[in-house]
Amino acid sequence: MLYVNMKNKWIIDHIPASDRQQAGVLAQDINQSHVIGELLAARGVHTFEEARQFFRPDLKMLHDPMLMKDMDKALDRLTKAIVNKEKIMIYGDYDVDGITAVALVYLMLIKIHPQSELNYYIPNRETEGYGVSIQGIETAAKWGAKLLITLDCGIKAVDMVNEAKMRGIDVIICDHHQVGDTLPAAVAVLDPKRGDCHYPYDELSGCGVGFKLMQAFANANPGHLPLFEHLDLLALSIAADIVPITGENRILAFHGMRQINRKPSEGIKGLLQVCGLADEDGKANKEISITDIVFKVGPRLNASGRLHDAKEAVRLLINHNEEQITQKSQLIEEYNSERKKLDNTMTEEAKQLVMEDPQFDKKCAIVLYNPSWVKGVVGIVASRMCEIFYKPAIVLTRTQRHDVPSQEQSEFIVSGSARSVGGFDLYAAIDSCSDLLLNWGGHTYAAGISLKEENLEEFRHRFEKYVAEHITEEQKHPVIHIDAELTFADIMNHNNKFWNTLKQFEPFGPGNTKPVFVTRGVKGLTMRTSDGTEVHLCKLVGAEKKHLKLTVTDGTCYSVKNGQEEKTVQTQINGIAFNMSDFYPTIIQGQPIDICYQLEENHFREKKSLQLTVRDIKQTGES
C-alpha cells in the first residue's frame, strides 16, 4: 500500500510543572519511578486513593443509575411492561455498539420476561439507513409491540417516535449521541449528553446506557436480575465504539475484559476462535486486550451489518447452542473476508482517483465519489485515505433515500462517511456546508453525510475552501505524542518492575492511551559465530522484507536479582518496526538512532518476553 512520504513530528507531552512535585510524592507513596507518577498525573490520578481506584476498579464505584435524567420514567414504564407481560421490542443500531446493546438487554430481559413477548430489530444499512426507520416501526406494530427500547440510536428520531405513538407503541430511548434541537416525545429519553441531564459521567457507550437501564431495574428488584453476567458484551461495545476508557467506562471495561479472558459467553468464545485469539476449547492464546477487540473482534461483528444483516451477529451473541455458534461464527468470518476484499478493492480505486487528480497537491481535503462503491465500507476507505494522504477525507457512494415516506424511497442520493486528521474539526467543516445536505451527523473526527447528487460539486468546492482556510500547518503533518523519555535500564531494572506496573494501566483506550516512549542513541547489536564471523542481530523480515526485527541497546546497564544474588547486565531488548526497512543500512552500519515505541508482551511458544513495537525512527541528532 502506498503511503505519502511524510515525516512524523515528535512531541513529548510533559505534565504541567505544577503537577510534577505531586506526581513525585505519589510515585514515592506507591513505591514506583517518577515516570509512573507522571503517567498517572497525566490521567488525572494525583493521590494514593485515586491510584488505588485506578489500579483496582471496583464495580461498587458505579454511579446510581437513578441520577440519569428520565431514568425514573424509564424504570416505571419497563416495570409496567414486565408486570403486564407486554410485548417489548429491542431496537439497536447495526454497528458493534448497537449489536452488543441489543444482545445485552435481550439476554437480561429474557431472564424475567417470557421469550414469546420479547423481540429485537436492527435496521438494514442499505435499505433503511441509520437510526429508527419506518420499516422498524411497522415491524414492531405488526408484531404487537407495546414498548420499544432503542439502543445506540433514537436521540434525533422525533418523527419516528411520533409514528410509534400513533401506532400505540411507547418508546424508551437509550442513546449516547449528541442531542438535536428537539427531543423526541418518548416516554423517557436516556442520554447523558442531554443538557438537562446531570448524570456524573457522560461518555457511556450506547450499550452502556442500556446497561444503566438494566442496573436501575436490578436495583429496584433485588435478586431478580444478575446484573454483571454480560459485562463481556459491554467491554466489546466500549472498545469498538472508541469511547473514552475513563470513569465508569474504565470500571466496566476492566471487568468486562477480565470476563472475556476468563469466562466469555459462548458467542464471544466463537468469535475469539475464528479470530485466532482462542484455541478449539475456547481458551485464550494470550491475554486479550482492547486492541484485539478493536482490530480483530470488532471488524467481524461489524462485517455482518456492513454487508448483510446485523441480526446475524445478535443471533451469535445470544446463542447457547455450540453447533449453531460454530456455524454462525464461521459465517461472520466469511462476511469479514468479503469485507476485506471490498476494502482492498475500494481503497485501491479511491487511491487511484486521488493520484489522478492534477490539483491534488494543492488541495487540503479529499472528497471522492463512486456510485458503485458499497455503502457499508466507505467509512473504512475514508479512514484509509486519511491514513495514506493525511488530509480530511470524505468517501461517498450512491444510495437509496430513507428520510422520506416509503412511496418516495425510489429516489437515489449520495451518501457516505467522513474522517479527519488530528486536531482538525471535521464537524465544523461539514456544518459550514449543511445547507447543501439532506442529513448529517457525527463529531470532531468522524461523520456521516447525505446530499442530492446535483449538490455534490458545490459541496466539494465549499468543503475544500473551508478546510483550506481553517486547517493549520501543524494539522497538515502527522504528530506522534510521546509520554516520556526513557533509557532501557529504566524499563528493565528490578526484573521489569516498570513493565509489570505499566500493564496495570490497562485497559488502554481514549483517555488512557497506551504510553509512547522515546529512547535515544540506540544501536543494533551483533554477535560472533564460532568461526569468528560477525552477524547482525537486526534483520529484514516479512514476505517483501519491509519490516525490521530489532535487537538493540542504548548502552545502559540494569540490575537483575536472582535470589540473594544481584548482578549488572547491559541492556538488550527486541523490537519490531513495521514498514521501516529504509533504516536497515543505518542500523547495520552501527550508527545511533532514536526510537519512539510502545511496550508489548510477545508470546511465542508459550514463552512471554518484553518487546518494543516501534512507532517511528530518526537518526540521532535529527530534528
* C-alpha span between 545 and 97 (Å, rounded): 38
* C-alpha span between 171 and 91 (Å, rounded): 10
Residues ≥6 apart with Cβ < 8 Å to 428: 470
Phi, psi of 101 (to 5 degrees): -65, -45
C-alpha grid cell for residue 227? Answer: 446484573
CA-based end-to-end distance of the chain:
27
The continuous run of DSSP H or E covering 523 comes out as: strand 517-524
Residue 611's DSSP bridge partners are: 574, 600
Asked whether 484 and 581 are in contact (CB, 8 A), the reply is no
CATH fold group of domain 357-477: Diaminopimelate Epimerase; Chain A, domain 1 (3.10.310)
Phi, psi of 321 (to 5 degrees): -85, 120
Averages of pLDDT over runs of 10 residues in the chain (623 residues) are: 65 91 94 95 95 96 98 98 98 94 97 96 86 94 98 93 97 92 96 96 96 97 91 96 93 97 94 90 84 93 88 94 93 93 95 93 95 92 94 93 55 91 92 91 83 96 97 91 95 87 94 95 89 88 93 90 78 94 93 96 79 94 72
Does residue 284 sit in helix, strand or coil?
strand
The continuous run of DSSP H or E covering 432 comes out as: none
Give me the helices (H) in 221-310, please.
231-240, 247-262, 266-275, 290-292, 298-307
DSSP classification of residue 292: H
* C-alpha span between 585 and 564 (Å, rounded): 43
pLDDT of residue 564: 72
Neighbouring C-beta atoms of residue 96, cutoff 10 Å = 30
pLDDT of residue 566: 77
C-alpha grid cell for residue 391? Answer: 488530509
SS3 labels along 343-406 = HHHHHHHHHHHHHHCCCHHHCCCEEEECCCCCHHHHHHHHHHHHHHHCCCEEEEEEEECCCCCH
The continuous run of DSSP H or E covering 136 comes out as: helix 134-143
Neighbouring C-beta atoms of residue 527, cutoff 10 Å = 10
Asked whether 523 and 592 are in contact (CB, 8 A), the reply is yes
pLDDT of residue 612: 96
Nearest to 260 by CA among 296, 224, 225: 296
Residue with the three cell numbers 517483501: 544
For the chain, counts of helices (H) and of strands (E): 20, 23
DSSP classification of residue 27: H
Neighbouring C-beta atoms of residue 535, cutoff 10 Å = 10
Asked whether 484 and 11 are in contact (CB, 8 A), the reply is no
Neighbouring C-beta atoms of residue 203, cutoff 10 Å = 18
Residues ≥6 apart with Cβ < 8 Å to 327: none
In order, the DSSP letters of 534-566 are EEES-EEESTTS-EEEEEEE-S-EEEEEETTEE
Query: Letter for the amino acid at 145?
Result: A
Residue with the three cell numbers 443471533: 315
Asked whether 27 and 37 are in contact (CB, 8 A), the reply is yes
CA quadruple 406, 140, 218, 83: dihedral, nearest 10: 150
* C-alpha span between 350 and 373 (Å, rounded): 10
Strand runs labelled E in 100-183: 118-121, 147-151, 170-174
Domain ranges of the chain: 54-228, 357-477, 483-619
Neighbouring C-beta atoms of residue 440, cutoff 10 Å = 18
* C-alpha span between 393 and 406 (Å, rounded): 31
In order, the DSSP letters of 566-614 are EEEEE--EEEEETT-GGGHHHHHTT--EEEEEEEEEEEETTEEEEEEEE
Pairing mode of beta strands 547-553, 573-577: antiparallel
Rg (CA), the chain: 26
Does residue 316 sit in helix, strand or coil?
helix
CA distances from 231 to 29, 175, 501 (A): 33, 18, 25
Asked whether 558 and 488 are in contact (CB, 8 A), the reply is yes
**Cis omega (within 30 of 0) on the bond before 264?**
no
Nearest to 154 by CA among 181, 128, 126, 176: 176
Asked whether 199 and 244 are in contact (CB, 8 A), the reply is no
pLDDT of residue 1: 41
* C-alpha span between 287 and 361 (Å, rounded): 44
Multiple choice CATH, 54-228, 3.40.47.10, 3.90.1640.30, 3.50.50.60, 3.40.50.300: 3.90.1640.30
Instruction: Write the class of the CATH domain 483-619.
Output: mainly beta
By residue count, the chain amounts to 623
Query: Letter for the amino acid at 164?
Result: A
